[in-house]
Amino acid sequence: VSTPLTEPATEGLDPEQRRNLQQHRLRRLVQRLLETGGVQAARLRDCGVERGVDVSLEELHELPFVTKQDFWEYYPFGLRAAPEDDIVCVHGTSGTRGRPTLAPYTAHDLDVWSRVMARALGGAGATRRSTVHSAYSYGLFTGGLGVHHGATRLGATALPAAGSATDRQARLLLDLRPDVLCCTPSYALYLGESLRYTGITPDQLPPRVGLFGAEPWTEEMRLEIEQLLGLEALNIYGLTEIIGPGVACESLDSAGMLNIAEDHFYPEVVGPDGVPLPEGEAGELVFTTLTKTGLPLLRYRTGDIASISGPVPDSPRTLRRMTRVLGRRDDMLVIRGVNVFPTEIETVLLTDPRVAPHYVVVEDRRDPSHPELRVGVEQHSPAEDTETLERDLAVALRERLGITCVVRVLEPNRLPRAEDGEKPEKGSPRPI
Ligand code: ADP
Ligand code: K
């Protein structure tokens, strides 16, 4: 199948011309950052880039990175580049470390976002006649409004179904007959299983295609979702710092990889030392926002591991593609769309005097529709009331992380000590 291009002039642009466009936009970005001042400008000056100095795409790798730490350090809006008056909305990620990562958008940024999301939906076969059933929640989280902006921009009908119970979702699906479904892959599984339980079969479900993202998922999950919901499941990727969903997305004709909206978000892949890797090698994704004005970022380190390849040969789509996210650079876990840093868990546990500094965190994805975080922790003395302690820790973890964890308090000395010198086997629970 080949799906029509929503923006033929950009999605189908000759790669050499696209590179010229990216080059032009990079120059503009660097000048904008220098004019704005602030930390990104200071770092540019530190490496000799002053106003009027020309930076080419070939030299991009010599420029400094922006990291998640910068967002925390310059919270809330220290990285903002547009005047406050020009900001029209704010989004943010699930707040770990007590503060969320905030992204201010200008009207221009919203336009960019709508366009890349419209393209993503178009690549999945959506048209002006489509109804897009979206169960991504609306809020600071970018999922809900991202899909909404894209669907309305495309001229389709957005159906904001988030937050409805399964029977309501089923009603909307059967009565309004949406052809596109958008939600997290874990919710897609949950929905599919619940619908099956109520006796609704995949062939009764109108969506032909689904865009699923905001958390990692596997090929096995794809097959399961496709069977449960009777649709073609496509992967959509993005992060709030860059724009939200729509940074990259599979299309029906992208052969299992995600088309990168590289005319807006210039991708690089770097190794652990920060040095760029050749095409096809897996490493950390780094994006430069070429067109954003509210929160323009030069070389933002995503922490997400993937590799990049060229477009499908002879395809009208000429954008480069990325693999699915293969893992995370740090230990950040993404549970039900919420980003969780193991160091946060440690902080909570070690604050409680009843707890010994020996614990294990397991990302339990045995039931892919309900991924869970399990925390096992040793108590100081076996006399403690374990039920109360488990409940207290679960409350404290919920407050700090924003998700519910299953806490098990263990007797002293139950957990293996790191002195064993043994590394856990691949695929085994991750002790931290
Ligand atoms: P939130 O927690 O509110 O979703 P983020 O914007 O920080 O906020 O989430 C972005 C992160 O989610 C990405 O950096 C990536 O780790 C993960 N993510 C998003 N989409 C996908 C996807 N399709 N596959 C795997 N991971 C994804
Ligand atoms: K996420």
Mean pLDDT of all residues in 99-117: 95
Is the domain of 186 the same as that of 71?
yes
Query: What is the per-residue pLDDT for 42?
Result: 97
Q: Which of 71, 90, 96, 239 to mutate to test the pocket of ligand 1 (most atoms within 8 A of CB)?
A: 239
Domain assignment of residue 428, yes or no:
no
Token match 């604050």: residue? 351
Ion ligand 2: protein residues whose beta carbon lies under 5 Å: 214, 337
Domain assignment of residue 432, yes or no:
no
Task: ipTM value, please give it.
Answer: 0.96
Mean pLDDT of all residues in 336-360: 83
Domain assignment of residue 299, yes or no:
yes
- Residue 346, domain CATH: 3.30.300.30
Work out the number of other CB atoms within 10 angstroms of the CB of residue 314. Answer: 5
Q: Are 356 and 380 in contact (CB under 8 A)?
A: yes
Mean pLDDT of all residues in 202-214: 98
**378: CA distance to ligand 1 center in Å?**
32
| Residue-wise pLDDT tens digits, 377-423 | 999 887 768 999 999 999 999 988 888 899 999 998 888 765 443 33
Q: In terms of residue numbers, what domain contains 356?
A: 334-420
| Residue-wise pLDDT tens digits, 246-294 | 999 999 999 999 999 999 999 999 998 899 999 998 899 999 999 999 9
Residue nearest to atom 1 of ligand 1 (CA): 93
Is the domain of 310 the same as that of 375?
no
Nearest ligand 1 atom to the CA of 239 is 6
Residues paired with 131 in a beta bridge: 157
Ligand 1 pocket check for 146: Cβ under 6 Å? no
Q: Name residue 256's amino acid.
A: G
Ligand 1 pocket check for 304: Cβ under 6 Å? yes
pLDDT exceeds cutoff 60 at 432: no
Q: How far apart are CA 29 and CA 49, in angstroms?
A: 12
| Residue-wise pLDDT tens digits, 36-84 | 999 999 999 999 999 989 999 999 999 999 999 999 999 999 999 999 9
Domain assignment of residue 209, yes or no:
yes
Q: How far apart are CA 127 and CA 131, in angstroms?
A: 9
**368: CA distance to ligand 2 center in Å?**
16
Question: How many independent structural domains does the chain possess?
Answer: 2
Domain assignment of residue 426, yes or no:
no
Question: Cis ω on the peptide bond leading into residue 429 (within 30° of 0)?
Answer: no
**108: CA distance to ligand 1 center in Å?**
23
Nearest ligand 1 atom to the CA of 304 is 16
The SS3 assignment for 6 reads coil
Is the domain of 284 the same as that of 373?
no
| Dihedral angle computed from the Cα positions of residues 325, 236, 63 and 22, in that order, rounded to the nearest 10 degrees | 140
The SS3 assignment for 111 reads helix
Is the domain of 262 the same as that of 379?
no
Domain assignment of residue 68, yes or no:
yes
Domain assignment of residue 62, yes or no:
yes
Instruction: Quote the mean pLDDT of the chain.
Output: 91
Q: How far apart are CA 335 and CA 240, in angstroms?
A: 16
Domain assignment of residue 239, yes or no:
yes
Report angle CA 355, 361, 365 to the nearest 5 degrees.
145
Is the domain of 316 the same as that of 361?
no
Residue nearest to atom 14 of ligand 1 (CA): 239
Ligand 1 pocket check for 334: Cβ under 6 Å? yes
Residue that finishes a domain, picked among 285, 313, 330:
330
Work out the number of other CB atoms within 10 angstroms of the CB of residue 132. Answer: 27
- For 212-274, the DSSP string reads EESS---HHHHHHHHHHHTSEEEEEEEETTTTEEEEEE--TTSTTSEEE-TTTEEEEEE-TTS
Is the domain of 323 the same as that of 176?
yes
